[in-house]
Amino acid sequence: MEYPIWKLATLGGGFWVALISTLHVYVAHFAVGGGLFLVLTEMAAARSGNPHLLDYAKRHTKFFLVLTMAFGAVSGVAIWLSISLLAPQPTIILIKSFVFGWATEWVCFLGEIVALLVYYYAWEKMNRRDHIIVGWLYAVFGWLSLFLITGIIGFMLTPGEWLQTRSFWDGFFNPTFWPQVVFRTFFAAVCAGLFGYVTATRIPDEATRLSTVRVCSLWTIAGFVLLALSGWWYIQALPEPQYAMVMAKSQRVATYMQFFWIFGPLVVLGALAMAVKLPRSVSFPLALVVMLFGLGLMGSFESMREAARKPYLIWDVVYSNSILKAQVPVLNQEGVLAHAKWTPPDLREITDDNERQVGEFLYQLECASCHSIDGPMNDILPLTAPYADADSMDAFLSGMGSVSVYMPPFVGKPDERRALARYIAEELHPDRAASDTAISDEPVSPAPFDDGAEFALLAWGREGMHFVADSRYWTLMPSGTAIRAQLVRRDSAPEVITQGVEIGFTVENGPEGVLGGGDEGIFEAELDFLPSVDPYQPLPVVTLEARVAETGEVLATTKFTPATSQLMGCRSCHGGSRARDGNIADDTALNILAVHDRINRTNHVERATRGAKILCVECHDDASQNAAGQEDKPNLSAAMHGFHAIYLSGRDSEHSCLKCHPDGSLRGRHGDTFECADCHGNIEDHAIGLLKAEQEKDKPYATARLAMLRPQYVESADEINPRQPWLQQPDCLTCHVDFEAPSEFTAFNVWAADPEELYVNRYGDMAAIACASCHGSPHVIYPATERDNIHPEQYMGEAQAFGSQGTCTVCHVEMMDMPIHHPGMGLE
């Protein structure tokens, strides 16, 4: 926050650091191992009296001098330049915390320079004994440089007790110091062998060439074996959070580790091939190839170590964008624009006119150190392409650093986060098409009804809205929903008909069938159908006919709109286009699986693209699908809401619930008064209730997610009652006390104790009429939208609850003067 910004675009900061540091560190390890290799080779030549080997040692020294002193020194300066521009804050911490360590290392480096210059230029001028002593001096100075730099570099990943003491020695001799010194020493030996090939293949004497190449192979192979063993020690020495990042949490670390174990065997195989007697025309190109394998090995290790530090540059001290962790609470409260020293004066306050410029500045401040724009490394464009709009991008930014632990959190106030989201979503993706998640409400003509009819057929849906979430690759929620119906014989004392009848149904552009009879005269069918898709209509119309079972005589007919839709809002954050068949499109589905794989270390994308269809209920139990799942996994609702609440927290229902369950989910009279949160709680409150029930079953997922959520409705998560999805829902009588009009509009945190108490399963007093027969489906309480109102309009000519405003005659034939179903029926 105190330093100017290095403005980057196509070649982001990560590219330059990765390129320069990988090449420098590779050569630097050669500078350490190669020094020992040189002096041992000279000693072997002196003992054997082999002039060809002695000449090789001299020529290798020239190669060594040019590469390590010229390229090594220049690339070392380039590292300091790049990190001071890209990450000035951690660079300052390294300098201030280890100033005497750096000073000592520079003394050793000076010793390397002097010793190597003397070693090369005095080759013919010094006696062999003194010359070898100078060679040993270089080797010692080189290893001491490795020793000193390793303490400082290792500190960045595992600062250990330094976090509390700020002691030089605690930081230097950090938890991974010794294993990393040993690891890098053996890596230096591998590098010495790899670079030794380049000049050894040029030795004119065949016997000397073969023996020297085989010595190089011994350095390479033995060095790699010891490297692998010390690498295991290195990993075991990591503190638990860093160990988890390396071994479990970071897909990026896992990818680099795969490359490490690819290049490692290639190096060994190349070394074995070099040890075979090969023509010079073959051995030199092969030597270069094997040396490049070594560069890949070094690059994968350094990338793995860098990725293991994420989201920090110095673990638990400074984030990868150079923002100090200790400053985050203040910056979140007061804003980064007010505290960033180099914020342009006209951007310190966000206005409609400068919001784009603010977003661009925040991108450079918080994102550009790792991400490029349309560049070769960590390109932000494909990473953010799935997010449909600024709302979706803002949701990701708000949850950044929570589930995806390798990303630092966004730092700043909500309006600053919004400016960055708009810059990424609208400026970096100017041609993005808007997501279409609106549910249409085309009117439908109701079925006819004769006041003199003997029967009335009442229908409703068991679910408030069944969102089909299906694709070619996976199924979250299969197609279909449940329709219920009751047949009533109209009379002064109406009777629910339970015997001798059947209720058949036909669905527009869908199946036909018969509802099965159930207890207390309820007929029900689980309809496995998709909403019509040509033209796309999420709310299909079902025609129901009550018939005499033996003769087929039609007793009553009605039309009903079941609450089902395929318009899940997955595209808002996972990209893709709406599939023509109404399901989740392939690109959207694969993106979702890829996110699941990255976070949970699964292989769903691989399985799905090979032909397997992933069923979410294989792992996650779900009462709505009668699926048992796996005991150690959270139920489907807790998993889905527990994850998404982290990104959607702090938002109202429109910008949280309706991002996934699009507008139209609440289509009845409550939709004019309530929002989702009034009954279910804000998204984080809703998720906390679900997760607490899973926590009581000792499921680790629940505990981890609960730690990331803060309630909105109450002060503490302890005040939220745990609940089981589908089986424990808000109770109508929480608001409608004694069936009266509500004085308060919130039913959150008061769950029906028994599924039979749920609105959809409840009956009125003194009769077997289900509450939903008169009031409509959950979320579709009459009066509702035009398309849903076709059922009450058939019988009453207007949209209202059956029995209200003098409409008891739908079933009772004559007006009633007492509310027998429940108090407060509003008969007049």
Together in a domain, 527 and 382 = no
Is residue 574 situated within a structural domain? no
Is residue 773 situated within a structural domain? no
pLDDT at 711 over 90: yes
- Compute CA distances 602 → 407, 482, 502, 560, 749, whole Å: 20, 33, 48, 42, 34
| Tokens read off for 823 | 């108090």
Q: Over the chain, what is the mean pLDDT? A: 91
What is the average pLDDT across 577-592? Answer: 82
> For 473-527, how does the pLDDT look when each residue is reduced to its tens digit (9 = 90+)?
999 999 888 899 999 999 988 999 989 999 999 987 778 899 998 766 889 988 8
Quick one: pLDDT at residue 752? 87
Quick one: pLDDT at residue 415? 96
Pairing of strands 495-497, 481-489: antiparallel
Is residue 585 situated within a structural domain? no
Together in a domain, 266 and 340 = no
| Tokens read off for 420 | 């960055």
Give the confidence band of 245 by pLDDT, cuts at 50, 70, 90: confident
SS3 state at 514: strand
Give the integer Cα–Cα distance in Å for 805 and 802. Answer: 9
Together in a domain, 313 and 334 = no
pLDDT at 18 over 80: yes
* CATH assignment at residue 339: 1.10.760
What is the average pLDDT across 796-815? Answer: 88
Task: Give the chain's domain count.
Answer: 3
Burial of residue 266, with CB atoms counted within 10 A of its CB: 0-12 exposed, 13-18 middle, 19 or more buried: middle
pLDDT at 634 over 80: yes
| Tokens read off for 610 | 């090979």
Together in a domain, 312 and 332 = no
Please state, for a pLDDT cut of 70, what percent of the chain lies above it: 96
* Range of the structural domain that residue 485 is part of: 455-559
What is the average pLDDT across 264-277? Answer: 95
| Final residue before a domain boundary, out of 319, 336, 363 | 319
Give the confidence band of 122 by pLDDT, cuts at 50, 70, 90: very high
Quick one: pLDDT at residue 436? 54
Is residue 237 situated within a structural domain? yes
* CATH assignment at residue 530: 2.60.40
Main-chain dihedrals φ then ψ at residue 340, nearest 5 degrees: -70, 120
Together in a domain, 375 and 501 = no
Give the confidence band of 678 by pLDDT, cuts at 50, 70, 90: confident
Give the confidence band of 580 by pLDDT, cuts at 50, 70, 90: low
Give the integer Cα–Cα distance in Å for 50 and 437. Answer: 81
Is residue 244 situated within a structural domain? yes
Give the integer Cα–Cα distance in Å for 713 and 753. Answer: 21
Quick one: pLDDT at residue 536? 60
Give the integer Cα–Cα distance in Å for 488 and 520. Answer: 12
Is residue 279 situated within a structural domain? yes
Together in a domain, 91 and 179 = yes
Sign of CA dihedral 463, 464, 470, 475: negative
Quick one: pLDDT at residue 579? 67
Give the integer Cα–Cα distance in Å for 24 and 74. Answer: 9
Together in a domain, 109 and 43 = yes
Type and span of the H or E element at 29: helix 13-48
Is residue 542 situated within a structural domain? yes
SS3 percent helix, strand, coil of the chain, rounded to 5, is 55, 10, 35
Quick one: pLDDT at residue 267? 97
pLDDT at 353 over 80: yes
Give the integer Cα–Cα distance in Å for 295 and 23. Answer: 8
What is the average pLDDT across 224-243? Answer: 95
| Final residue before a domain boundary, out of 319, 336, 360 | 319
Together in a domain, 554 and 499 = yes
pLDDT at 396 over 70: yes
What is the average pLDDT across 402-414? Answer: 91
Together in a domain, 421 and 507 = no
- Compute CA distances 577 → 68, 308, 529, 574, 640, whole Å: 54, 35, 22, 10, 22
Together in a domain, 68 and 169 = yes
Is residue 623 situated within a structural domain? no
What is the average pLDDT across 747-765? Answer: 86
Together in a domain, 379 and 269 = no
Together in a domain, 485 and 402 = no
> For 184-202, how does the pLDDT look when each residue is reduced to its tens digit (9 = 90+)?
999 999 999 999 999 999 9
> For 59-111, how does the pLDDT look when each residue is reduced to its tens digit (9 = 90+)?
999 999 999 999 998 999 999 999 898 899 999 999 999 999 999 999 999 99
Quick one: pLDDT at residue 662? 75
| Final residue before a domain boundary, out of 534, 559, 584 | 559
Give the confidence band of 13 by pLDDT, cuts at 50, 70, 90: confident
- Compute CA distances 348 → 234, 326, 397, 501, whole Å: 46, 22, 21, 74
What is the average pLDDT across 678-700? Answer: 94
> For 524-561, how does the pLDDT look when each residue is reduced to its tens digit (9 = 90+)?
988 877 766 555 667 788 999 999 999 999 999 999 98
DSSP state of 434: P
